[in-house]
């Protein structure tokens, strides 16, 4: 059963996710989410860019920042789960040992929970990166995520959008961070 503290935390995750939308953050694989105290998930790279542009975030960096943790295990100093904060590691933990992530049935997700699917190979045998997002409306399948497709299309990697593709993917897990 989720406690009142969990509800407040989940609300904070959603608020942080919304805070990062519309900021001109572009997609960069393996970047962002190193500093949970940063104003935005990729803001540590701001000094390298022209004014008004923030680069350096991918989906797991964005989600780590929303949760208020570093994606880097060395910076997190988490002795229980000393793993890189990325899709396949999170999916594996929620699907097995559940050290830091609990699996939640998709129909029981709440705003602030996560949806994640692991790295995989497509039908042609090509490697595909996994993906994750923050759930903002589980009934309507609304998410906030950081994606390369939104970055290319809108020049805004972090957006609110329909996440129905997560609910249709049989490998997707609903996930809740265990603080």
From residue 10, give the alpha-carbon distance in Å to each of 17, 49, 106, 166: 11, 32, 16, 19
* Relative orientation angle of helices 59-67 and 4-19, to the nearest 10 degrees: 130
User: Any idea of the CA torsion for 123, 172, 178, 44, to the nearest 10 degrees?
Assistant: 60
Q: Is 135 helix (H, G, I), strand (E, B) or coil?
A: strand
Chain centre to alpha carbon of residue 113: 10
Mean pLDDT, rounded, of the chain: 88
- Nearest Cα to Cα of residue 63 among 167, 134, 129: 134
Pairwise CA distance, residues 143 & 128, whole Å: 21
Q: Give the helix ranges, DSSP H, for 20-154.
A: 59-67, 73-76, 87-95, 148-154
pLDDT in tens, 56-97: 799 999 999 999 999 999 988 888 889 999 999 999 999 999
pLDDT value at residue 58 = 95
Which pTM was predicted?
0.90
Residue 50 reports pLDDT greater than 70: no
pLDDT value at residue 102 = 94
Confirm if 144 and 67 have CB atoms less than 8 A apart: no
From residue 12, give the alpha-carbon distance in Å to each of 109, 113, 134, 136: 16, 11, 11, 11
Which of the residue ranges 72-76, 105-109, 119-123, 156-160 would you say has the lowest mean pLDDT? Answer: 119-123
Going along the chain from its start, the domains and CATH numbers come out as: 4-177 (3.90.1720.10)
């Amino acid at each position: 059963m989720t406690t009142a503290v969990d509800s407040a935390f989940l609300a904070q995750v959603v608020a942080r996710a919304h805070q990062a939308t519309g900021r001109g953050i572009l997609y960069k694989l393996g970047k962002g989410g190193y500093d949970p105290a940063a104003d935005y998930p990729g803001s540590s790279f701001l000094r390298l860019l022209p004014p008004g542009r923030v680069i350096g975030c991918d989906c797991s960096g964005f989600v780590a920042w929303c949760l208020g943790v570093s994606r880097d295990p060395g910076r997190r100093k988490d002795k229980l789960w000393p793993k890189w904060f990325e899709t396949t590691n999170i999916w594996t933990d929620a699907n097995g040992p559940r050290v830091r992530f609990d699996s939640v049935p998709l129909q029981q997700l709440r705003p602030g929970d996560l949806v994640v699917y692991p790295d995989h190979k497509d039908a042609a045998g090509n490697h595909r990166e996994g993906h994750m997002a923050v759930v903002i409306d589980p009934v309507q399948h609304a998410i906030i995520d950081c994606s390369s497709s939104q970055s290319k299309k809108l020049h805004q990697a972090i957006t609110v959008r329909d996440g129905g593709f997560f609910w249709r993917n049989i490998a997707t897990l609903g996930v809740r961070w265990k603080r």
